[in-house]
Amino acid sequence: MEYINVDSLVDTAWVEAHLDDPNVRILDGSWHLPATGRDGFAEYTASHIPGAVHFDINAVSDKTSPLPHMLPTPEAFATAVGAMGISNQHRVVVYDADGLFSAPRVWWMFRVFGHDNVALMSGGFRKWSGEGRPVTADPSLPVPVDFTAIFNAHMVRSIEQIARFVEDESEIVLDARAADRFAGSSPEARPGVDPGHIPGSRNLPYGRIVDSESGMFADAETLAEVFEAADLDNGKPIATTCGSGVSACILGLGLHLMGNDNWSVYDGSWTEWGGRDDTPKAKGSQ
């Protein structure tokens, strides 16, 4: 068995062969949870793939929202990526430090804003540097170009939509967080966010479809088995969620690889839902 949408992944050898390709733009989308103490931009500054530009999901976001890294407006996204030297004609390749964490969020953002010619580099910078491929600390100096963003509302869900799905069960809400966080047995790291999960949602920890050692997706057969066990093939749309809309995109990209594009991401995720007084919360494994 093979991935269906295999073009959404490229390997490190492909990237090295296209470092000087004028039709390709490489982005370092590294971002880390605050609790790790790591700084994605500092790591990028110290060492990155030659020519890569850093894409900061906190910087390219809605600055008016109190929630972390919410989607910006199409105009703001277009301005930001145009300044990175990316046009609508470029093939965009994104990676992150450890392979599969924040890069899928960047991949999803491009698709939300109408740019489907975007792929993830399997294994991330850890694999790239471990293979002895070229790295640099030299700053990238992109030439600004025009980018047109067209918002795809079908790929995003709001808190109002999720609340409706809780009532009418018209969409499956799929939570990518670890089982203990979903169950509410572990506290949330962000202040003011209650433990637990959205009532009626299902738990599929993203680690079940990712090989933590390689930083790559599990093989197609494993993905198919995991998604089948989660009972997702009943025709209902899927809204993925997590802590703040990052690892939810890992589930989304996994679904896409297996040919399922009937999904969206709840952008505010549990930070929004769990941080409000007017939303119901559930605990336990279901």
Cα distances from 213 to residues 125, 141, 176, in angstroms, run 13, 33, 19
Q: Whose structure tokens read 């197609």?
A: 220
> Which pair of structure tokens corresponds to residue 165?
């799905």
Can you tell me the distance from the alpha carbon of 120 to that of 57, in angstroms, rounded to the nearest whole number? Answer: 16
Structure tokens at 210: 């990712």
DSSP class per residue in 92-117: EEEE-SSSSSSHHHHHHHHHHTT---
- Distance between CA atoms of 224 and 230, rounded to whole angstroms? 10
Contacts of 77 (CB under 8 A, 6+ apart): 60, 71, 109, 113, 149
pLDDT score for 117: 98
Nearest 5°: phi and psi at 148?
-110, 125
pLDDT of residue 234: 76
pLDDT-flagged residues of the chain (< 50): none
> Quick check: 213 and 205 in contact, CB under 8 A?
no
Torsion of CA 224, 250, 131, 213, to 10 degrees: -70
For residue 82, give Cα distances in angstroms to 38, 93, 145.
Answer: 27, 15, 5
Per residue in 70-126, pLDDT (tens digit) is 999 999 999 999 999 999 999 999 999 999 999 999 999 999 999 999 999 999 999
* Per-residue model confidence (pLDDT) at position 152: 98
Kindly list the catalytic residues. 242
Domains and CATH numbers, the chain: 6-151 (3.40.250.10), 154-273 (3.40.250.10)
Could you tell me the CA-to-CA distances from 117 to 8, 94, 237, 264, 265 in Å, in that order?
A: 8, 11, 23, 18, 19
pLDDT of residue 212: 83
How far apart are alpha carbons 43 and 102 in whole angstroms?
14
